[in-house]
A and B are shown apart, each in its own frame.
Chain A
Amino acid sequence: MKKLVATLAVLSLASNLLAQKITFTPQWTSQAQFSGYYVAYEKGFYSDEGLDVEIRHLSANSSETAIYELMKGNADIVGAQLLSSMISRSDGMRLVNVLQLTQKSGLCCVSHNPISSPEELDSLKVGRWRAGYADFCDILETYTGIHINWIPFLNTVNLYVHNAVDATLAYSYNELIALELAAGKIPDDHIIRFSNFGYEAPEDGLYVTEEYYNKNKELVDKFVRASKRGWDYTRANRKEALNITWKYILEHNITTNREHQRRMLDEYLDLQVNPETGVADYAAVKPEVFVKMVEALRNTGHIVNNIEYKDLIR
């Protein structure tokens, strides 16, 4: 018996030593947007694949992006938005998309007054995130032919609740919820979702460098497989997933509240549902949508060099 225990202990130690280490950096600080990865880690789905994953978040004060961390070699796999990754690829960063998580855009605009179309934002003061999103804003103005007085912000909620802006950009799974928890239910006719107006660019996906992918394709596949398993488990066990997420939030000393995270998880899981199939199938972005996005980025001057679907999407 003692021999058996010793053998098992040695095997276990060897397995740990043999586990392949991967550093994963989500694109923002700890929140329910990343529940699936926390769950995959906590439930041992990564270990099951023989992976030793480290989830390393960006610092709240950091001005760097996850793609930057990827290109610097500080992370093996990162979370990023498709539009940013396309621009980065065009700029010469050789990164590839290995999983498309969300299937439609969560971008929306919240206004103090009723609004029915993006065109009504013409000449208004509209808040937007200070970092990034210039691409989206330019596309919006170009394709609608309007001019918006963009107000960059660090904090979405305060500018809006203090009436310093007429409207503000928001993600349906984050800022929209924060606004409702700050000021109460926002009427539906004060919100427009850009996905309802032809904006087909889905957002979050997983990215690795092309070089890393070529060398560790099997490893990446394992990570993607375990991550999908984590999200599937999250969808089926939301309460447990929320508790796991809350543990990470406390560890990272993030100021938020459980209600915000609960609603975020629900909305984020909805964004993962493919509108065409009605299920969360992690489908890759469609080539025709990809082409449209490239065209929009070229028209707004955000990319100069052409990028091919096969270069970015694996």
Chain B
Amino acid sequence: MKNGHLSFSARLSRNILIVTSTIFITTLLVADVASHIVVANEATKAAENLRDATISKIENILQKVEMAVSSSAWLICENLDNEEYLYHITQKIVSENPDIIGSAIAFDSYYFKDKIYFSPYSFLDTESGEIHSKQLGTQQYNYFYMDWFQIPYLLGEPNWGEPYFDDGGADCLMSTYSYPLKDAEGKVFAVITADISLEWISGILSSIKPYPNSSVMLISRNGSFINQNNDSSLRGETIFSILADTSRKDRNVLPLAEAISQGRTGKIKYIKDGKASFAVFAPLHNGWKASISCNYTEVLSRTSRIHIILFSLVIIGLLILFRASYVIIHKLTDPLSHFTESALEVAKGNFDVELPQIKEDDEIKKLRDSFDYMQKSLKDYIGELQETTATKERIQSELNIANQIQMAMLPHDFPVTDRVGLLAMVRPAKEVGGDLYDFFLDNDKMLYFTVGDVSGKGVPASLLMAITRASFRFIAKMGLPMKDVVSKINNALAESNANGMFVTLFAGRINLETGEFNYCNAGHNPIVTISPDGKAEYMKAKPNLAAGLFSDFPYEEESCTLQHGSRLVIYTDGVTEAEKADKTQFGEDRLIEWSENRCTLFSDSGKACEDLYSTVKQFTDGNEQNDDITIMTIILR
């Protein structure tokens, strides 16, 4: 990591980790939910099987008791006249059935003459192991209102009584099975009973522990707990009383109690004390109900442990994967970092930097080869560029020298006398230009001057300019009329003009004493005359033909008289054709306007030249200069 940014390999590894983690964790979660569902279903089935097995075990014993009692019924009916034998029958029921600890035959009131109560009863003395017999009914123990007699008597069918705690003898929780005897008219005249201890049930139920905190309930018809021997706190409680508190705040607890109480067979999920649980329940044939409850935390604890281990392994695996992928990717992408360093070196100009070697023929190798090719191409290109630049610099240097020579050719000693002031300037568009000017004074009386513009630009134009300027100075000094001066220059240029170049030229001579002005125009722009009263106009002059095109062209000379105080502005087309960016030209009108408004402000022709040049530059507003600009101003005093 550099400057807080992750490296490529770290980012790639992180992305791989995110994608892989998402896939793994999603898969784990789905597997977790699916396995929980499967395990929960299996646990429910196992609990149902356990419930059915338990019910079957209890029912076996109950049915043995029922059988023992019902099979004695015929014997009683056969011996109703033998009271002693009736006692014997109850003894036999107790002695022959180890599950039965007491038995009675309770007769309806006055079934026997003069006897309100008659109930032979035998019971096992648990301490001595002996069986004792007695007559049960008394005024104090009026069995007609006891459940064990009253319920089967009223119903006319056998009945398992509610569990009761016998603290008189057996000192344990008991239940009584009652079997009604009916006469020929179907009226119940006696009830045979068998008392059993319910301790064995508690024994069976306490052995059922599908999970450490599972609870097993055996509920009687009145909702009390038959297996309360296991838990004394259940005494006096019913299924609805113990669930009353939780049913007010937990989910599905009351429907569970109702389903069990109503003797339904099934299963219900519920939440008790904040724990998700399920219960499976079913009734017994005698109206009791069995239920097994397990909480899901315990049921799923083993699966959850496995999932925790699995989850931990996945986390470790993912961390290893992250580390391994980082190392591998880092190794694979290592050449890229070398390329980065190489690219930096190349950028610094070190084209000979060595690239890393790639053994594998893969994308990195292709990249390396491409980079190598680019490096070599760059090296060649830069070499050529250096050479070209050197050549260009040399040419530029030479051009600069040529410019200096060209400028040096033009006269710079501008005459300033009491009769005349003159100044001229050339501003080439390129290093060397084709514009020219020249002047000289002959005996302080005659002023010769010329301004010219060679066709084309650059070095060829500058050479022609040099010839033209030298010709003017040489020929004008012969004292010839101006038309002859121009004709000779024309002929001189035309003779050796293989390239068809030409030069426009305005040449003039002013007698400074008389103001006589002779001039000849060879295709040049008309010059501007400004009268002493400041009025400016283009001087009418025959255009003739530019010099250098045809030999012996008959140039015509013209003349006029200039008044003292007049001014002349001679220029090349670089002034009037100077352009703005939108191609608008400075134009002749603006030159006239400048001549009238600005030129007359200056008594010094040098300042007038500079002002015209700066006015043109201001007009072009920074746009590139396309043509040479030459300005000459003459002030006659």
Contacts and interface: CB of A to CB of B under 8 A. Distances in A.
Interface in A196-242: none
Interface stretch (B109-117, B255-263, B290-298): B255-263
Contacts of A164: 150-151, 154-155
B146 interface: yes
Given A159-B151, A162-B159, A163-B155, A154 B145 contact: yes
A147 B134 CA distance: 39
Interface stretch (B95-103, B236-244, B447-455, B589-597): B236-244
A151 interface: yes
Interface in B255-306: 257-258, 261-262, 287
Nearest to A130: B145
Given A153-B145, A154-B146, A183-B223, A255 B261 contact: no
A158 B237 contact: no
Contacts, number: 76
A72 to B, nearest CB: 20
A184 B145 contact: no
Contact of A161 (B165, B221, B242): B221
Interface residues of B, number: 29
A157 B222 contact: yes
Contacts of B261: 183-184
B484 interface: no
Nearest to B219: A182
Interface in A153-171: 153-155, 157-159, 161-165
B375 to A, nearest CB: 92
Interface residues of A, number: 29
A260 B237 CA distance: 9
Nearest to B147: A158
Contacts of A255: 165, 235-236
A242 to B, nearest CB: 13
A257 interface: yes
Nearest to B145: A154
Interface in B563-590: none
A163, A182, A260 pick with most chain B CB within 10 angstroms:
A182
A42 interface: no
A174 B159 CA distance: 26
A256 B150 CA distance: 23
A238 B245 CA distance: 16
Interface string B109-145: 0000000000000000000000000000000000001
B222 A152 contact: no
A79 B237 CA distance: 27
Nearest to B236: A255
13 contacts: A161-B222, A162-B155, A162-B159, A162-B221, A164-B150, A181-B240, A183-B222, A184-B240, A184-B261, A184-B262, A257-B242, A258-B241, A259-B244
Interface of A: 125, 130, 151-155, 157-159, 161-165, 180-185, 254-260, 262
Interface of B: 145-147, 150-151, 154-155, 159, 161-162, 165, 221-224, 235-238, 240-242, 244-245, 257-258, 261-262, 287
Given A151-B150, A165-B154, 19 more contacts: A152-B145, A154-B146, A158-B147, A158-B151, A159-B150, A159-B151, A161-B223, A163-B155, A164-B151, A181-B241, A182-B222, A183-B222, A184-B261, A184-B262, A255-B235, A257-B241, A258-B241, A259-B240, A260-B241
Q: Which 6 A-B pairs have the closest CB atoms?
A: A259-B241, A259-B244, A164-B154, A257-B241, A182-B222, A182-B223
